[in-house]
């Protein structure tokens, strides 16, 4: 197979090297294109552009494959835990017992926020969106330890990343409590990561939450399935900010903002709102599907479609299977699950969706589980952010550890006015 591509332009031929990834995917290396030809490339939305070489996560969109550091998502979902997968993504290998014990100890050490952080929460209006609070408070929490906002130090990265993973959970729970006017519930050192989160979310000062193992396991799975996803919008944002050598907290706070958008992580909230709207209209989903096919965006089938997956998102398949199991184990039924399944069944027989290779993505069913766990819909994207934090941290580290360490600075095709000269105010029409 050729290891170069020939570009013929203006009667000149230029050889461009072709890179091959460990799974055989090929990419034309255009790092010298402009200096050799005067040309740049143009790729609106970067659908055909590799922004980096990365060893963290592999996706094959045509075959519906997702692997974290080479391990299939199906195996990790069945056999691993969110915290073990967090270590795997950040450090590249499954942790030994000693490493897992040490990591768990750091998560416990850092689970409480600096007490002064409480005053920041007081400053938000009660109806502030928790993603706005999360992004602000991640940056704020970085201010309480001087070295966190200083230059990257690989020797301290393990502690800094453990602090962030632990505190993003505490910040999220505190944001929820604040929004409901509820007293803050502090974490318990004896609880594991996800159980502690549910405790901080739903316990009361006079009564601890009765932790349901099924609920803890279901949410831990949601976090695990969201932990990384190669160069998606928010992870690319984290890498972009990290490429300027900004600190870990600033880079991941920017990732939260990118994730918030309804086309990205905000879709899980938009799916539930869509299902509620369909139910309220007495529609079994078929009317909505017809409207979604108009393509005008007003009735987009949220939770469907993906830039990379042109097949079933493997995470959606796992979450769909877990939905029924979780609902059964916590003795809940949900009419929205029936509507979601009807929408999927109808769409996957409809040429409009089949021709465009639109399948359910990770957001289509995740909200059903979170709703069953009494997590309010406005907190759904926050759950996504807690889950994605290890992936963002792993990508941040990959940027920081890159010996070339180039700042991300794309070019553009300029379409504005050509040169013109200043017109004094009195002479303007």
Q: Which residues are catalytic?
A: 306, 363
Per-residue exposure over 52-66, b if at least 16 CB sit within 10 Å of its own CB, e if not: eebebbbbbeeebbb
Least distance in angstroms from the C-beta of 398 to ligand SDX: 16
DSSP 3-49: SEEEEEETTEEEEEEEEE-TTS-EEE--TTHHHHHS-----GGGTT-
Q: How far apart are CB 25 and ligand SDX at their closest, in Å?
A: 16
Residues 95-134 that bind ligand SDX (CB under 6 A): none
Closest residue to ligand SDX, based on beta-carbon distance:
305
Give 95 or 265: the residue with its C-beta nearer to ligand SDX. Answer: 265
Tell which one of 305, 314, 367, 390 touches ligand SDX (CB under 6 A). 305
Tokens representing residue 88 in the block:
């795997």
Among 277, 307, 349, 406, binds ligand SDX (CB under 6 A): 307
Residue 344 interacts with ligand SDX (CB under 6 A): yes or no: no
233-242 and 380-400 helices cross at what angle (nearest 10)? 40
Span of 4-12, 113-121, 130-138, 302-310 interacting with ligand SDX by CB under 6 A: 302-310
| CB of 366 vs ligand SDX, minimal distance in Å | 10
Stretch that binds ligand SDX, among 94-102, 158-166, 209-217, 305-313 (CB under 6 A): 305-313
Helices and strands of the chain, counted as H and E runs:
18, 6
Residue 87 or 260: the one with the smaller Cβ distance to ligand SDX is: 260
Q: What is the DSSP string of 379-422?
A: GHHHHHHHHHHHHHHHHHHHHHT-SS-PPP-------S--S---
Residues 82 and 105: their CA atoms lie apart, in Å, by: 15
Question: Which lies closer to ligand SDX via its Cβ, residue 221 or residue 361?
Answer: 361
Q: Are 396 and 252 in contact (CB under 8 A)?
A: yes
Binding mask 247-286 for ligand SDX (x = CB under 6 A): ----------------xxx-x-------------------
Query: Least Å distance between CB 351 and ligand SDX?
Result: 12
Sign of CA dihedral 213, 215, 221, 224: negative
Q: Which of residues 184-243 bind ligand SDX (CB under 6 A)?
A: 229, 232
Q: Which is nearer to ligand SDX, 319 or 362 (CB)?
A: 362
Cα 375 versus chain centre, distance: 18
Q: Applying CB under 6 A, does 301 fall inside the site for ligand SDX?
A: yes
Provide the 8-state DSSP code for 155. Answer: G
Q: Which stretch binds ligand SDX (CB under 6 A): 198-206, 331-339, 360-368, 420-428?
A: 360-368
Sheet hosting strand 57-60, strand order edge to edge: 57-60, 65-68, 71-72
Of 217, 213, 187, 181, residue with least CA distance to 200: 187
Query: How far apart are CB 60 and ligand SDX at their closest, in Å?
Result: 13
Minimal distance, residue 73 CB to ligand SDX, in Å:
11
Q: How far is CA 218 from the centre of its chain?
A: 18
What are the residues whose beta carbons fall under 8 Å from the beta carbon of 294, sequence distance 6 or more? none
Q: Which is nearer to ligand SDX, 239 or 306 (CB)?
A: 306
Q: How far is the CB of 241 from ligand SDX (least distance, A)?
A: 17
Residue 69 makes contact with ligand SDX by CB under 6 A: no
User: Is there binding between residue 361 and ligand SDX (CB under 6 A)?
Assistant: yes
CA–CA separation, 380 and 276 (whole Å): 15
d(CA 97, CA 275): 43
Min. distance of Cβ 205 from ligand SDX in angstroms?
Answer: 37
Q: Is the dihedral of CA 87, 92, 97, 103 positive or negative?
A: negative
Total chain residues near ligand SDX (CB under 6 A): 23
Q: Output 120 or 300, the one with its CB closest to ligand SDX.
A: 300
Among 219, 316, 323, 362, binds ligand SDX (CB under 6 A): 362
Q: Which residues bind ligand SDX (CB under 6 A)?
A: 45, 229, 232, 263-265, 267, 292, 295, 300-308, 356, 358, 361-363
């Amino acid at each position: 197979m050729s290891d170069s591509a020939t570009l013929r332009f203006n009667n000149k031929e230029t050889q461009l090297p072709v890179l091959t990834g460990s799974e055989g995917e090929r990419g034309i290396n255009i790092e010298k294109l402009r200096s050799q030809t005067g040309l740049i490339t143009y790729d609106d939305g970067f659908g055909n552009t590799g922004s980096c070489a990365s060893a963290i996560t592999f996706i094959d969109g045509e075959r519906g494959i997702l692997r974290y550091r080479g391990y299939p998502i199906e195996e990790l979902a069945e056999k691993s835990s969110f915290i073990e997968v967090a270590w795997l993504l950040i450090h590249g290998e499954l942790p030994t017992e000693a490493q897992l014990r040490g990591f768990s100890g750091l998560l416990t050490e850092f689970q409480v926020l600096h007490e002064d952080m409480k005053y920041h929460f007081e400053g938000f209006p009660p109806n502030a969106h928790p993603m706005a609070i999360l992004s602000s408070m991640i940056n704020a929490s970085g201010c309480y330890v001087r070295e966190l906002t200083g230059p990257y130090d690989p020797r301290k990265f393990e502690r800094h990343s453990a602090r962030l993973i632990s505190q993003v959970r505490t910040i999220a729970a505190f944001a929820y409590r604040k929004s409901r006017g509820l007293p803050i519930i502090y974490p318990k050192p004896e609880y594991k990561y996800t159980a502690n989160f549910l405790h901080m979310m739903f316990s009361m000062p006079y009564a601890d939450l009765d932790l349901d193992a099924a609920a803890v396991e279901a949410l831990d799975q949601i976090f695990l399935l969201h932990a990384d996803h190669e160069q998606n919008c928010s992870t690319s944002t984290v890498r972009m900010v990290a490429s300027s050598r900004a600190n870990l907290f600033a880079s991941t706070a920017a990732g939260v903002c990118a994730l918030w958008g309804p086309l990205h992580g905000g879709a899980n909230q938009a799916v539930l709102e869509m299902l509620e709207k369909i139910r309220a209209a007495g529609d079994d989903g078929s009317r909505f599907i017809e409207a979604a096919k108009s393509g005008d965006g007003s009735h987009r089938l949220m939770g469907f479609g993906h830039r990379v997956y042109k097949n079933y998102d493997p995470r959606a398949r796992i979450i769909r299977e877990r939905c029924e199991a979780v609902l059964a184990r916590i003795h809940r039924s949900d009419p929205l699950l029936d509507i979601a399944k009807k929408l999927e069944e109808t769409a996957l027989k409809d040429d409009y969706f089949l021709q465009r290779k639109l399948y359910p993505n990770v957001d289509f069913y995740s909200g059903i589980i979170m709703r069953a766990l009494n997590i309010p819909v406005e907190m759904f994207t926050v759950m996504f952010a807690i889950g994605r934090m290890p992936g963002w941290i792993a990508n941040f580290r990959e940027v920081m550890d890159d010996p070339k360490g180039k700042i991300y600075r794309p070019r553009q095709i300029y379409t504005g006015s050509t040169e013109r000269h200043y017109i004094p105010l009195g002479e303007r029409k």
